[in-house]
Structure 1
């Protein structure tokens, strides 16, 4: 569950020192805005355009018409932001990621090669390298009673003391269409969540979460 074990960050990554400052990955959520501003201020304007209030967009990114991007936000090389997307700030959109039509992102990291291509909501969340959300799948980031969110993973239970916390989705995890990741869920690397699932419990690495809530082990070589 700890950041160093759950998120695999290369030592030469811009994230490395920042991520390892936090014991648990959700502790990063309150620091995203400051991180984006600090990194953005160091970016070369020969490679990035600075637009408006703390928005940095790589000159190798593709931004379609009718998108809204609020700062602080960094959009890296090879990213595609499709028509109707809404990036609400405190967002890092990593290289070669896709933010699709009618997708909304707020206070989140998309580390790289992340696809949220069709009608997704990603709020107060971290999506690791290669994670994919199918059409209509969302991260729910607020309990119905608006209480603090508790993370339960492999027998551990931790009160995050956060009122808003979506999900942490591991590397190459696949979230099926119209699935709901309920507040504070962790999805381990290379796991699969079936379409139409409502996920209330965290899913270990290389496991399948079925619509019934059953979780079973699987092996993926991707």
Structure 2
């Protein structure tokens, strides 16, 4: 799953950054530095509300939300009560970061929804992707070894922390766990309470028990 197969880059401020790479997880190491470079170049509609934290004037941020530096919050995005943006988060336009949601080292394309009790770490979520309530990205293996992407061919990433890559228009069902190194192709659906690992092809449905079928 290469970047060109996963994402419409016209729906993120990270277009130029992501275009440098072949695989999306190759971008994880540089997200912090990219945000620090991008922030000062943003239009005057973005306000630096604290050091290295830029929020668009049309965004809504609840008073109990925490915005850790560096981060960028895009137009018309809603950051709800008790959201915890730890650091290194580029959140696009028209997104929802919900109550008790935690983000860390992520790129959220435009129209991404993480509305309820989600943990999203070391991950990239594509245009119009959606994390159901309680669904999370698990970004470190239990044995602490480096993450391998398991698919038609296994790819060693060299990364200790790597959550999930969600293509455009991916729907993740409630209370699902995306294991380290999960890559979900565009227009795919994950059933609720699923445990997902490896590469899920585009236009697929992951059903109960891990059964994968093509969408009709």
Which range, TM-score by smaller chain?
Answer: over 0.9
Report the Cα distance in structure 2 between the residues aligned to 1:201 and 1:42, rounded to whole angstroms.
Answer: 37
TM-score by length of 1: 0.94
Structure 2 counterpart of 1:9? 9
Where does residue 63 of structure 2 map in the other structure? 65
Structure 1 residue 19, shift from structure 2 partner? 0.9
Structure 1 residue 97 and structure 2 residue 91: aligned? no
| Offset at residue 213 of structure 1 (A) | 0.7
Aligned match of 2:188: 191
Q: How does 1:13-162 map to 2 (within 5 A)?
A: 14-44=13-43, 46-153=44-151, 155-162=152-159
Q: Encode CA deviations 1:67-99: one digit per residue, 9 max, x unaligned.
A: 111011000101000000000111001000000
Aligned length: 216
Indicate the larger mover: 136-145 or 29-38. Answer: 29-38
Higher relative contact order (CA 8 A, sep 6+): 2
Moved over 4 A (4+): none
For the structure 1 residues 204 and 77, does the alpha-carbon distance in structure 2 shift closer, same or farther, using more than 3 Å as the test?
Answer: same
RMSD: 1.2
Instruction: Give me the whole-angstrom Cα distance separating, in 1, the residues matched to 2:118 and 2:16.
Output: 29
- Identify the residue that residue 162 of structure 2 maps to in structure 1: 165
1:124-166 Cα shifts (integer Å, max 9, x gaps): 000000000000000000000000000023x121000000000
Contact persistence 2:75–2:94 (CA under 8 A): yes
Deviations 1:16-73 (A, max 9, x none): 32112112110100111111111101013x3111022200000000001211110110
For residue 28 of structure 2, give the secondary structure of its aligned residue in structure 1.
helix
Counterpart Cα distance in 1 of 2:157 and 2:108: 21
